[in-house]
Structure 1
Amino acid sequence: MDWRVWHDKYDSPDSRMARRLRTVQDQIRMVLDSSRSGPLRVISLCAGQGRDLLEVLCDHPQRSDIRARLVELDENNTALAAAFARANQLDQIEIVTGDAALTDQYSGMAPADLVLICGLFGNIADADITRTIDACPQLCATGGHVIWTRHRRTPDRVPVICKQLEALGFDRRWLSGDDTELGVGVHRFVGEPQPLESGRSLFQFVGYDRLVG
């Protein structure tokens, strides 16, 4: 799978991927608009080209307050993300080429005010979805938000993901309708963050094409 070419789907405005991207960006704006003033930390797992966050920050009033770390394994995608960040003077954004499954990638940034898990849950096994969700109290600060995505093809895991997050102290703030194939969810953490456990791997990125194969 050429993941740089895969991102080209976002350039077709009427595609499902472009609609999901706009939905995620809308939710990012809402979270940032409702957040306290002052410094905010954001982390993004398997960030791809970082379009969801970077395009929002370009014109957001709090752009200078936001420090973010985007972790992505594909070096072609991180190169594009880094170029976009430089072109838009987003100097406080870290673009990391590396394995987003490793908890050490988030040292010094967790617990964050916003955790993006977009484009991941549809590409990993169910057990790894659970493992990643179980780590969310380590990644997210009290009052912070997790924005996540998952397709609703059979078997629809969206209700399970909601249930698992809510069992860990995350309140559901918004969920796209069940008539939308590409689901988007927003959960706010009302619990106490846990220390980040170093040296752990949360998931193995399989790829949706192999999972259904």
Structure 2
Amino acid sequence: MDWRTWHDQYDHPSSWMARRLEAVQTQIRAALEGFPSGPLRVISLCAGQGRDLLEVLVDHPRRDDVRARLVELDQRNTAFAEEMARSAGLDHVEVVTADASLTDQYRGMVPADLVLVCGVFGNIADEDIERTIDSCAQLCRTGGTVIWTRHRAAPDRVPLICEWFKVRGFELQWLSDRDAGFGVGVHRFTGEPQPLVPGMNMFSFIGYDVLRQAKAQAGGA
């Protein structure tokens, strides 16, 4: 999968990706507006080109309150995000080219007010989805928000993801409609943040194309 050209679908307003991006950005705006006044910390796992957050911050009233760290492995995508952030004068946005699955990447930024896990759950195995959700208790402050995405193709894991968040102290705030063509969820953390475990791997990024191929092969076995 070429993760640089994958983002080109955002430029087509009728695409499901563009519609999902709009939904995520709407929820990011709502989250930022709902936090008390003062500094805010935001982290984004597998941030890609960072369009979800950066396009919101460009003209958001709280842009100067936000200190953010975007972690993404693809250097072409981080270069895009870096250029967007610098062009917009978002000096408190840090773009890191690194493996977003490692907890070490978030030292000094957690527990965060807003945790973005967008474009992750559709590209990892079920057990890694659950482990990542479990890790969100290390990443998110009490009263903080997690925004995540997941496709709704069979097997539809969105209900299970919501349940996994619930049992770990995350209250569902908003969920996209079933017929939207994508899944976007927003959860508020009501528990107590756990200490960040150094050197922990939260997930292995496999890729939805590889996962689908494995599923097809297993079905034909």
Give CA-to-partner distance per residue, 1:28-63, whole Å, 9 cap, x none: 000001111110000000000000000000000010
* Rg (Cα) greater in structure: 2
Q: In the alignment, is residue 84 of structure 1 matched against residue 84 of structure 2?
A: yes
CA contact (8 A) 1:152 1:180 kept: no
Q: CA deviation at 1:13?
A: 0.7
2:162 is aligned with 1:162: yes
Map of 2:216 onto structure 1: none
Structure 1 counterpart of 2:218: none
Q: Secondary structure at the match of 2:174?
A: strand
Pairing 1:118-137 to 2, within 5 Å after superposition: 118-137=118-137
Name the TM-score, length of structure 1 as normaliser.
Answer: 0.99
Query: For residues 135-161 of structure 1, what are the alpha-carbon distances to aligned partners after superposition, in whole Å with 9 as ceiling and x for unaligned?
Result: 011000000000000001000000000
**5+ residue gaps in structure 1?**
none
Q: Secondary structure of 2:180's partner?
A: coil
Q: Does 1:189 align with 2:185?
A: no
Aligned to 1:39: 39
| CA RMSD, 1 decimal | 0.5
SS of the residue 1:201 aligns to = coil
1:55-94 alignment, distance < 5 Å: 55-94=55-94
Matched to 2:124, the amino acid is: I
- Alignment match, 2:114: 114
Please state whether the residue corresponding to 1:156 is helix, strand or coil: coil
Matched with 2:217 is none
Q: Which amino acid aligns with 2:123?
A: N
Q: Tell me the distance in 2 between the aligned counterparts of 1:110 and 1:177.
A: 31
Using the alignment, how far apart are the partners of 2:26 and 2:209 within structure 1?
28
Q: Give the match's secondary structure for 1:205.
A: coil
In structure 2, distance between residues paired with 1:201 and 1:190: 24
Number of residue pairs aligned between Structure 1 and Structure 2: 213
Separation of aligned partners in 1, 2:152 and 2:20:
13
Q: Give the Å deviation of 1:76.
A: 0.2
* Separation of aligned partners in 1, 2:99 and 2:109: 16
The equivalent of 1:206 in structure 2 is 206
- Post-superposition offset of 1:181: 2.2
**1:74-130 alpha-carbon deviations (Å, 9 max, x no partner):** 000000000000000001000000000000000000100000000000000111101
Q: In the alignment, which residue of structure 2 is the partner of 1:102?
A: 102
Determine the structure 2 residue equivalent to 1:177: 177
Partner amino acid, structure 2, of 1:108? G
- Structure 2 length normalisation: TM-score? 0.96
Partner of 2:149: 149
